[in-house]
Amino acid sequence: MFDPHQLLELTLKKQKLSENQLKELVFRVQTLFVMEPNVVSVPLPVQICGDLHGQFYDVVNLFKVGGTPEQCKYIFMGDYVDRGYYSLEVITLLYLYKIIYPNQLYLLRGNHESRAITQIYGFYDQCLKYYQHSSIWKGFIESFDYMPIAAIAGEQVYCVHGGLSPQCPLLDDVRIIGRAIEVPIRGALADCLWSDPTTKNMVEYFKPSDRGAGYEYGPKAVEEFSRSNGIQLIARSHQLAPEGYQFHFNQTCVTVWSCPNYMYKCKNYASIMQVDNHHNCNFLLFTAVDLHEKKPD
């Protein structure tokens, strides 16, 4: 019998689940993703989080700092896997919370929720090490294809992993993106997941990104998107913010970073952005649980 509460207890103890349990979990979560639109609407109050990158103990601590999904609503803006040592444990924990509290936790897609990227930065290798084949990785990757692209919190806070696309001046343009694909190098989906705000080189609208995918976007692009769509604030992640968060363009855009001591060496803070019923934002800051976390055997 598939008991998500029991599996949650095991996962919180970092115990390895069986292949059949993970396959059933992925199937059930993918079914939920399929029913969610490209842009999910989430009522306030809500807690908004950025990159997690496989740092399991820090994710467990995040829910101690901010409260469990039973206690409060969450939007996560992608990049759950890769870089850290425990990608599989992190994504399993989040998927179990999604199953148990489907209307309390929303998982948006990041650029690392991708076949190409996870084969380079750790998630594929961890799945192969644990199960001696790639079918568990393949199951998760296929479910990533159905993750929502963005969220609107309280009708005025636009949440997305990377940011804006010149192909999507309106929310309705994001709503019609064909998302059930591998993240491409070019196009609207790639822009939403790869783009970054910038103040360099006097960029006002859009400039192709040095990352090789997406764009750098400036204050005029944010201003026009926000005005056209009735948006008060754009929340995104995708870039390390040493203090846990960073505002851009006169506080019309904010980077939220939820991975403390990124890659176990950056010594940065992490944050949870709380948005209350009146659209006021407050940041819960936290540090890494264990600065000397060791790579598993």
Which sequence positions are flagged as catalytic?
Answer: 112
150 touches 160 (CB < 8 A): yes
Burial class (CB in 10 A: 0-12, 13-18, 19+), 124: buried
Burial class (CB in 10 A: 0-12, 13-18, 19+), 146: middle
Q: Which residue has the tokens 């101690």?
A: 64
Q: Which of 268, 223, 239 is nearest to 78 (CA)?
A: 239
Take residue 66 and report the two structure tokens written for it. 């901010």
Q: Which residue has the tokens 């976390």?
A: 293
Neighbours of 237 (CB within 10 A): 29
